[in-house]
Amino acid sequence: VYPRVTGRIVEMSIYPGDPVRPGQVVARLDDVELSSRVREAEAMLATSRATQAQMEADAVAAHHGIIQMERELAMVESEATYWRGVIARTERLFNSGAVSRQEYENDRSMAASIEAKREAARAKLEQARAMEASARKKLAAAASMIAQGEAALRTAEVVRGYVNIVSPNMGYVVKRLVAPGVLVQPGMALLKIAQVDKVRLQANVGEKDLPLIRVGSAVLVTTTGNGHPPFTARVTSLFPFVDQGARTAIVEAVVENNGRRLLPGQYVHMQFVTGERPDALSVPRGAVARMGEKATVWVVQDDRAEPREVTTGMENPERAEIVKGLVGDERVIARGHEGLYAGARVSDVGGALPARQGSDPRAGTPEMKDAGKAQKPAAPALVKPETRQKSKESPHGGGHGG
């Protein structure tokens, strides 16, 4: 979790192990400076609105002035028309000797005065129109300033909201990196939150096994120490590069973490289903004795041990496919064949388990006890080969959740 603005932490009541939900406030910064910016933006917006009101009043006044000037011009135009008629009549009378020159000159002077008055009214009308146009431009500029002020106020309010630092997702606090009183800035981590409702399981798989795995392949996931049973997941991605040192690549499965059965960083065992052969002949894996590249299965013929060299195919944690060397009706020594020799008399011991039909690695991994210790040979246990074999386990099945 990172802050989006610079500030001093005044509150942080979240501790490691606490659950958080999306949008929950996990820390709060001092908001004095950012609140001051909000008030400044509010003041600038108020000034812009007052200017707009003044510009609106000026525009209205200019429009009223235009109306008044148009009325005055209309009156003057009427007078000018009247006096043009008077001059025409007086000029005819003067030419006929009916009026004196003084009367004629007086009428001409009055007509010229009215004409000058008309030109003045026209000039005032144009001036009033120019004033209105200027007022309209100023009003548009004031509206633009208001829009800018409103945007600045919204930005200031949003930035002030950044003092409340919230969790981006659901999870649990893993680590608290700062304490109240510390001055923080963008890019400085405050908390580490692990999202546990959905986790990524990753396994390092050997490069020779990668061609056998596809997106969507089944994978059996086994946890240790928490009592949860194994479950099946699906491969969601294969990393497109191989580690040059280990010669492995990461295979990933994203799973829903119902009931918090998986914890971030936990070790899990991942077994990948790389193929299926339903009609294969198989024996318990413990029945196959290996010496280098040679594989041998001990069978019982007339109550005596007899080695059969076999060729194995697919394997899973419980069974191995026999491709060549057995026909399927033999009695196989499943365990206790250490130290046997050809022709040794053998018998089935009490309590030996019969072979199970259909061994699927997704059903779990058999428990191994005292692995790596030398043990005395056990009495032979006899089983029959099966004619069903499902899948092979990737030898690089270790993985971890994250």
Q: Say if residue 156 is in the same domain as residue 168.
A: no
Task: Count the domains in the chain.
Answer: 4
What's the confidence (pLDDT) of residue 349?
A: 60
Predicted structure pTM score: 0.50
Q: Say if residue 54 is in the same domain as residue 131.
A: yes
Are 297 and 332 spatial neighbours (Cβ–Cβ below 8 Å)?
Answer: yes
Write out the H or E segment, with its range, that includes residue 30: none
pLDDT, one tens digit per residue, over 122-154 is 888 888 888 888 888 888 888 989 999 999 999
Domain annotation covers residue 277:
no
- Judged against a pLDDT cut of 90, whether residue 315 lies above it is answered with no
pLDDT, one tens digit per residue, over 155-179 is 999 999 999 999 988 888 989 999 9
Of 262, 281, 239, 248, residue with least CA distance to 383: 281
Q: Say if residue 377 is in the same domain as residue 314.
A: yes
Of 288, 291, 292, 332, residue with least CA distance to 310: 288
Q: Rank 317-331, 353-367, 376-390 by mean pLDDT and report only the highest.
A: 317-331
Q: Say if residue 71 is in the same domain as residue 118.
A: yes
Please report, for the domain that includes residue 90, its CATH number: 1.10.287.620
Q: Say if residue 124 is in the same domain as residue 148.
A: yes
Q: With the C-alpha atoms ordered 225, 227, 230, 233, is the resulting torsion angle positive or negative?
A: negative
- Judged against a pLDDT cut of 70, whether residue 295 lies above it is answered with yes
pLDDT, one tens digit per residue, over 76-125 is 888 888 888 888 888 888 888 787 888 878 888 888 888 888 888 888 88
Q: Say if residue 103 is in the same domain as residue 82.
A: yes
Rounded distance, CA 185 to CA 203, Å? Answer: 37
Which residue do the tokens 């600038």 mark? 44
Domain annotation covers residue 401:
no
- Judged against a pLDDT cut of 90, whether residue 26 lies above it is answered with yes
Domain annotation covers residue 398:
no
Rounded distance, CA 220 to CA 264, Å? Answer: 18
Domain annotation covers residue 64:
yes
What's the confidence (pLDDT) of residue 371?
A: 25
Write out the H or E segment, with its range, that includes residue 389: none
- Judged against a pLDDT cut of 50, whether residue 260 lies above it is answered with yes
What's the confidence (pLDDT) of residue 127?
A: 87
Q: Say if residue 49 is in the same domain as residue 63.
A: yes
Give how far Cα 273 sits from Cα of 7, 107, 373, Å.
53, 120, 30
Q: With the C-alpha atoms ordered 204, 224, 199, 361, is the resulting torsion angle positive or negative?
A: positive
Domain annotation covers residue 400:
no
- Judged against a pLDDT cut of 60, whether residue 393 lies above it is answered with no
Q: Say if residue 151 is in the same domain as residue 171.
A: no
What's the confidence (pLDDT) of residue 400?
A: 53
- Judged against a pLDDT cut of 90, whether residue 28 lies above it is answered with yes
Q: Say if residue 150 is in the same domain as residue 168.
A: no
What's the confidence (pLDDT) of residue 93?
A: 84
- Judged against a pLDDT cut of 60, whether residue 363 lies above it is answered with no
Domain annotation covers residue 296:
yes
Of 112, 160, 175, 231, residue with least CA distance to 7: 160
Q: Say if residue 169 is in the same domain as residue 246.
A: no
- Judged against a pLDDT cut of 60, whether residue 236 lies above it is answered with yes
Give how far Cα 204 sits from Cα of 218, 271, 363, 365, Å.
16, 11, 22, 19
What's the confidence (pLDDT) of residue 377?
A: 34
Domain annotation covers residue 1:
no
What's the confidence (pLDDT) of residue 386?
A: 56
Rounded distance, CA 69 to CA 278, Å? Answer: 104
Rounded distance, CA 383 to CA 248, Å? Answer: 37
Q: Say if residue 139 is in the same domain as residue 50.
A: yes
- Judged against a pLDDT cut of 50, whether residue 316 lies above it is answered with yes
Provide the pLDDT confidence category of residue 392 given band limits of 50, 70 and 90: very low
Tokens of 61: 């006044």
Q: Say if residue 146 is in the same domain as residue 211.
A: no
Q: Which structural domain range is residue 200 located in?
A: 196-272
Query: Average model confidence (pLDDT) for the chain?
Result: 82
